[in-house]
Amino acid sequence: MADKSRNLSIAKRGLMSFETIMWVFTRLSALGMYALVIFGLIGALVMGARNNMNFADVMRWGFMPNVTHVENTALPDTAPWSSTLWKLTASALVLIAVGHGVHGLVVIADDYIATAKGRQIVRICSGVMILSMLGIGLYLIWTS
Amino acid sequence: MGLNRNVSLMTALRYKGQGPFLTYILHRIGGLGMAIFITVHLLASFVGGKGGHFINAIYENWAFQIFIFFCVLFHAINGLRITILDLFPKLIPYHRQAITLEWLVFLSIYGFAVFTIIRTGLGG
């Protein structure tokens, strides 16, 4: 059965529909976030996390490599943790995470909101949320 | 479609979806928990002042960290399982074994995180 469906053309499989593209985006953005988190964890270890931070602090840095997340640790100098490299990494994480997260919220909302009007309102709200969260997130990263 | 479900609440609560359904529900709870946390955390950090500091102080509390670490770690590990099975459909027949493996990985990492958070919270 699986083999048969794979012989269909892309057009017949409907791979270009918005839902399918977002389905693929959700998976690939998750992989992108894993890569960025691992990059952050490796960077933290290189910069001295092993001797100056506990496990929870390292995890917090890994999920969002922003210097404010390591200010309460025993690190003697947080300057390397606020370099442009980490601001770019955090920005990439925010961009991917907001897209992934807001799309996830729309999927959940669609399970409970059946009317076309209601779903339209959800999509408008999600657009506003994406723009505002991106703006605030990037502002906080680049001014911290 | 939508809210016109043909099952009662009690029937829904007795639904025997077992392991896969539990991960499905916990994935949604984790995702919602993170979305609410990150949204409020960003707004609190942006607004600042007493209100912002008060909200961020809640987030730094060890009890809240145990909750948010559950949301983040479960969503991340379960999401990895979903992604692997979706990208490699030949593995789907082994989804129950994948869920068992997922729980082992999750409990190991989460258990260690909770231990560290509580020890730090108690001043250890």
Residues 6+ apart with CB under 8 A from B81: B23, B98, B99, B101, B102
Q: Tell me the C-alpha distance between A19 and A107, whole Å.
A: 10
What are the chain A neighbours of B86 within 8 Å (beta carbons)?
27
Specify the DSSP element, H or E, that contains B68.
helix B62-87
Q: Tell me the C-alpha distance between B90 and A5, whole Å.
A: 13
Residue B15 confidence (pLDDT) above 90:
no
Residue B1 confidence (pLDDT) above 70:
no
Per-residue pLDDT of chain A (144 residues; tens, 9 = 90+): 445 555 666 666 666 788 888 888 999 999 999 999 999 999 999 998 888 888 778 888 999 999 988 888 888 888 899 999 999 999 999 999 999 999 999 999 988 888 999 999 999 999 999 999 999 999 999 998
Asked, for residue B7, whether it belongs to a domain, the answer is: no
Answer yes or no: do A108 and B28 touch at CB < 8 A: yes
Answer yes or no: do B113 and A68 touch at CB < 8 A: no
Asked, for residue B79, whether it belongs to a domain, the answer is: yes
DSSP A53: -
B42: tokens are 């960003």
A115: tokens are 């009317």
pLDDT tens sequence across B96-110: 999 999 999 999 999
The predicted structure's pLDDT at residue A10: 60
Q: How many CA atoms lie within 13 A of A130 on its CB side?
A: 17
Q: How many domains does chain B have?
A: 1
Asked, for residue B66, whether it belongs to a domain, the answer is: yes
Asked, for residue B5, whether it belongs to a domain, the answer is: no
Do B59 and B37 meet the contact criterion of CB atoms below 8 Å apart? Answer: yes
Task: Name the one residue in this structure whose structure tokens are 């145990």.
Answer: B66
The predicted structure's pLDDT at residue A1: 47
- Angle CA B60–B63–B66, to nearest 5: 90
A90: tokens are 């955090």
Answer yes or no: do B46 and A140 touch at CB < 8 A: yes
Q: What angle do the packed helices B18-47 and A84-112 form, to 10 degrees? A: 130
* Nearest CA-CA partner of A59 in A32, A84, A38, A87: A38
How many CB atoms are closer than 10 A to CB A119? 15
Chain A residue at shortest CA distance from B40: A133
The predicted structure's pLDDT at residue B124: 57
Chain B residue at shortest CA distance from A111: B2
Confidence band for B5, pLDDT divided at 50, 70 and 90: low
Whole-number percent of chain B with pLDDT over 90: 48
User: CB of B25 within 8 Å of any CB in chain A?
Assistant: no
In CATH, what number is assigned to the domain containing residue B43? 1.20.1300.10
Answer yes or no: do A137 and B42 touch at CB < 8 A: yes
Asked, for residue B36, whether it belongs to a domain, the answer is: yes
